[in-house]
Structure 1
Amino acid sequence: MASAPANTLPIFYNDLLPLSSADHVDYKLRTADSAPFLATQHAVPLTVDEFVPAQRFAPIIFSAGDDAVPLLLMGLNEGVNVFVDAEGKLGGPAYVPAYVRRYPWMLAKLRPEGDELSLCFDPTSPIIGAFEDGQPLFENGQPSELTQGVLKFCEDFEQAAARTGQFVRDLVEMDLLMDGEVTIQTPLNEQPFVYRGFRMVNEEKLRDMRGDQLRKINQNGLLPLIHAHLFSLQLMRDVFEAQVAQGKGPIALPATPEAADA
């Protein structure tokens, strides 16, 4: 269903350039009311800071593989996002992950050997450029208030990402993650649709934890995050039904019940 991106650049990004007052002093940022890059993305990285608000709208899962990443599942099948239309416009109530709201910006290391992060952007984005309209990125040769706000947002995102990485490491250390599987039976198909290729918290192991362990993960804030994840899984069928209603549902294959493995 979902795997951690293997590309050199994170998903959505085609290229990265460091923002420079010398090269981009005339650049401006246009307002966007859609995210075309999101239209065919079914799973988006999510930070732990977003688990509670996001769990009301879509399932939260973990990517398969050794380096698990929390993902907001905006569609059950590859290339399907039930929350936006073909142009990337929201079709109703939804939670838009900070990962999406951050694009086309990103903090990145300019030198692999260094620790300093620089504000970069994707130059292929249509909302940044030397336009006549839009909000300036620099004023009098200095970062504008807008750019300072973008930098703060990206810094906050990196801190949330660090907390997310620690959360996943804690789950792995406690052996709480397991391979997930969701089976959805519909009245129109004899064989059920089976979704695999993701990870989830093992509820049985969670229930069997010792009292002192449970108190510890409750005190350090892990338990509410785990519960938000588990509660969100109840929305799997809702997303499936939204796919069907939008004509994006999986095609039943009589030879095999497995509708989507990724």
Structure 2
Amino acid sequence: MATVPQSQSLPLFYNNLEPLSSQTHADFRVRPANVAPFLAKHHAVPLTVEEFPLVQRRMPIVFSIGDDPVPLALMGLNEGVNTFIDDAGALVDNEVYVPAYIRRYPYLLAKLRPDTDELSLCFDPTSDTIGAFEDGERLFENGEPTELTKGILNFAEQFEQAGQRTGQFMRELKELGILMDGEISIQPEGAQPFVYRGFQMVDEKKLNDLRGDQLRKLTQNGILPLVYAHLFSLSLMRDLFSKQMQQGKMPQQAPPLNAQPLN
């Protein structure tokens, strides 16, 4: 059975990838998922730029460290802490926005061969939402993809396109040199401060010092509002810290925020 070459590193959440086939998976069905246990211990989720306006009011938006940074929505400030999901993987608040990266799982567009740019719809066979079940919606009828499968493919294609636009956004920020190492110190009453590092953010001083032509370009290509969405969202760091305290999820120390790749 064909699988994605394992020399390729798998994205966050995925344990394996297998191309979806009308022959091999003719009897496969999809069960609705009300919980996401795979998410319960993850505090940072990749984000696309289209989601910034929705996320900025709910979660801090930061950028990962390294040579190829990606936007991240923070669901917790510490490794293994998610304040929006309980231990069973259920939403704590049904009004919470769920990033597209999460909603895409267990599906993914991936290259099956390194010598071509063609992408195939794949899925994680370890997911309990897809399989040869007696119940659920069918993926294929008479050898043809159902409307459900077409919808899954369309969503995966839209996410892939959004990922490309997000990559261009990040390249613009890097070329302008306005990213800086982030640090935030939060001091609970009567306690030592918690200092969080290991992420990047936009340097407001460098942003304000950009030339007029650079700022016009950022405005014209729609990047400047996204930058401000990121900056406004940083005020939610303290709200997230308070949620961790209320939920009893505070560690003894505050290790650096870890980054996850956007795939």
TM-score of Structure 1 vs Structure 2, range by shorter chain: over 0.9
TM-score of the superposed pair, with normalisation by structure 2: 0.93
User: Does 2:54 align with 1:59?
Assistant: no
Alignment partners' CA distance in 1, 2:77 and 2:190: 18
Structure 1 counterpart of 2:261:
none
Across the aligned residues of Structure 1 and Structure 2, the Cα RMSD in angstroms comes to: 0.9
Q: 2:147 aligns with which of 145, 148, 158?
A: 145
Structure 2 counterpart of 1:197:
198
1:12, distance to aligned residue in structure 2 (A): 0.3
Structure 2 counterpart of 1:169:
171
Structure 2 counterpart of 1:13:
14
How many pairs does the alignment contain? 249
Map 1:16-165 onto structure 2 (within 5 A).
16-92=17-93, 93-165=95-167
Structure 2 counterpart of 1:3:
none
Specify every segment of 5 or more residues in structure 2 that has no aligned partner in the other structure, as ranges.
1-7, 259-263
Alignment partners' CA distance in 1, 2:171 and 2:29: 40
Structure 2 counterpart of 1:215:
216
Cα-to-partner distance string for 1:159-185 (whole Å, 9 max, x where unaligned): 000000000000000001110000101
Cα-to-partner distance string for 1:114-140 (whole Å, 9 max, x where unaligned): 111000000000010000100000011
Alignment partners' CA distance in 1, 2:207 and 2:97: 27
1:199, distance to aligned residue in structure 2 (A): 0.3
Cα-to-partner distance string for 1:76-115 (whole Å, 9 max, x where unaligned): 0000000010011111132211000000000000101111
Alignment partners' CA distance in 2, 1:250 and 1:57: 22
Structure 1 counterpart of 2:255:
260
1:188, distance to aligned residue in structure 2 (A): 2.9
- What letter matches 1:55 in structure 2? Q
TM-score of the superposed pair, with normalisation by structure 1: 0.93
Cα-to-partner distance string for 1:22-74 (whole Å, 9 max, x where unaligned): 10000000000011011000000000010110111000000011110100000
- What letter matches 1:84 in structure 2? I
1:208, distance to aligned residue in structure 2 (A): 1.0
1:212, distance to aligned residue in structure 2 (A): 2.0
Specify every segment of 5 or more residues in structure 1 that has no aligned partner in the other structure, as ranges.
1-6, 253-258
Alignment partners' CA distance in 1, 2:189 and 2:104: 41
Alignment partners' CA distance in 1, 2:215 and 2:47: 24
